[in-house]
């Protein structure tokens, strides 16, 4: 967490304005989200552009597919690698998930979320399934439990070009995450990257189930409030 804050000084203002109490009012006004660092293009334009790419992919447009891959592959690969902790396996999962995108692009429904969310769901489900199949979830979590959702002090740093390419979305998200109390970060981390059930998260955190549910609810609502309307 400390690394995240020091790496993202522009998030400090937001991070400093919240405390770690779960009972804190998590219904932040939507206007507050717009205070988060926002170097990304207008969200609605990006969503629309992604949706158009998917429409073209559905018609068999390989160029659109390559463009979509270039836009999404980096965070998706990072997400998958974070979940499965194996580069070769992560490549297979991303490969298969994008083939599903190619085959099922017509099934995308913009009313249910952004294109990025749709593809993230495809990739994440596959990655979690793979982890569950390997029955190594507990080991993976023990091996890779960082102090926060972002960088770990010992994590490999991205190359210079990667750092520039790993665009501002990451900075925005990390800044938004930094606004969450650590216990909410931890609950979201286990839920999103660990693929654990509610009960497993409660057991792992040694907290009552109701507390865990409340942390997840508050954390996700705060994240929604802290993020731009759509990345």
Partner 1 sequence: MIAERHEELAALYALDLLAGADRTQFEAELAADPALRALVAELRDSAAALAHAAPPAGPPAALRERLLRSVETRTVSRSKEDEKILRPPPSIFRALLPWAVAACFALAAGWLGQLYLSSRTEAALLRDEKTFAELALQSARNQLEAERIVNGQRFATLDRELKAQGDLANFKIAALTSMLNNSPQALAVAVWNPAQQQGVLQVEKLPALAADKDYQLWVVDPAYPNPVDGGTFTVDPQSGAQRVTFHPRQPIKAVNAFAVTLERKGGVPKAEGPFVLFGK
Relative orientation angle of helices 209-226 and 168-178, to the nearest 10 degrees: 130
Q: Is 78 in the site for partner 1 (CB under 8 A)?
A: yes
Tell me the C-alpha distance between 107 and 121, whole Å.
13
Please state whether 42 falls in left (phi above 0), alpha (psi between -120 and 50) or beta. beta
Give the C-alpha separation, 61 to 148, whole Å: 39
Work out which of 5, 24, 136, 158 binds partner 1, going by CB under 8 A: 158
Interacting residue with partner 1 among 32, 56, 74, 137 (CB under 8 A): 74
Q: Using CB under 8 A, pick the residue from 165, 182, 203, 208 that binds partner 1.
A: 165
Q: What is the DSSP string of 19-52?
A: -S-TTS-----HHHHTTS---SPPHHHHHHHHHH
- Is residue 13 a contact point for partner 1 (CB under 8 A)? no
Does residue 129 interact with partner 1 by CB under 8 A? no
Residue 3 is classified by DSSP as H
Residue ranges that bind partner 1, judged by CB under 8 A: 60, 62, 65-66, 69-70, 73-79, 81-82, 87, 90-91, 94-95, 98-99, 102-103, 111-114, 116-117, 120-121, 124-125, 146, 149-152, 155-156, 158, 162-163, 165-166, 169-170, 172-174, 176-177, 188, 191-193, 197-198, 213-214, 216-217, 220-221, 223-224, 227, 230-231
């Amino acid at each position: 967490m400390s690394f995240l804050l020091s790496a993202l000084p522009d998030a400090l203002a937001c991070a400093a304005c919240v405390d770690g109490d779960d009972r804190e009012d998590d219904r932040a006004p939507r206007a507050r989200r717009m205070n988060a660092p926002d170097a990304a293009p207008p969200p609605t334009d990006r969503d629309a552009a992604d949706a158009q790419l998917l429409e073209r992919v559905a018609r068999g447009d390989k160029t659109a597919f390559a463009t979509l891959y270039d836009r999404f592959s980096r965070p998706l690969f990072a997400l998958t690698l974070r979940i499965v902790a194996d580069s070769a396996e992560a490549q297979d999962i991303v490969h298969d998930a994008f083939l599903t995108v190619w085959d099922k692009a017509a099934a995308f429904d913009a009313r249910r979320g952004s294109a990025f969310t749709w593809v993230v769901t495809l990739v994440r489900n596959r990655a979690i399934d793979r982890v569950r199949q390997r029955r190594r979830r507990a080991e993976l979590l023990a091996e890779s439990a960082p102090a926060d959702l972002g960088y770990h002090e010992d994590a490999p740093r991205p190359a210079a070009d990667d750092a520039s390419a790993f665009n501002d979305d990451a900075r925005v998200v990390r800044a938004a995450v930094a606004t969450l109390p650590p216990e909410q970060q931890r609950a979201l981390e286990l839920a999103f990257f660990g693929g654990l059930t509610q009960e497993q998260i409660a057991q792992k955190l040694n907290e009552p189930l109701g507390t865990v549910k409340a942390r997840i609810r508050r954390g996700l609502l705060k994240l929604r409030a802290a993020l731009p309307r759509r990345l």
